[in-house]
Amino acid sequence: MEMTKIKYKNHTLIKLSGKFDTLSATKIESEFLKTLEDLSYETHIDCTELTFISSLGIRLLIIAQKKAANQDKVIGLIKINPYLKKIFDDANLSFFFKFFDSIADIDKK
């Protein structure tokens, strides 16, 4: 799994690609959470190339959302595939996040 941080207008995008499984989540946890320390910009996670997410990956996203909520912000998930969205829906976690169909949609919120 790869993680890339990109500035887009007044947003911070974290692009995740590949499998966000237990092994990769463990490897990127500190870098991922460090990226979220500065929430002066809206932060969104680009899931366009994310193919799998484990329970540990979901846990990291929830931690990220809680950090954002403490600053009256919301983490947005961009272009999450239907299979992964179903996991969030089935686990009643969809209300924690905003979902966007594309990067361009984050400006329309």
Nearest to 9 by CA among 37, 38, 44, 56: 44
pTM as predicted: 0.86
Tens digit of pLDDT for each residue in 56-93?
Answer: 999 999 988 888 888 888 889 999 999 999 999 999 99
The DSSP output letter for 93 is: -
Q: How many domains are there within the chain?
A: 1
Pairwise CA distance, residues 6 & 85, whole Å: 23
Pairwise CA distance, residues 78 & 90, whole Å: 19
What number is the average pLDDT over the span 47-55? 92
Beta bridge partners of 46: 15, 78
Question: Which CATH number does the domain housing residue 82 bear?
Answer: 3.30.750.24
Q: Which domain holds residue 76?
A: 2-107
Q: Which pLDDT value is given to residue 100?
A: 94
Residue 48 predicted with pLDDT over 90: yes
Q: Which pLDDT value is given to residue 28?
A: 85
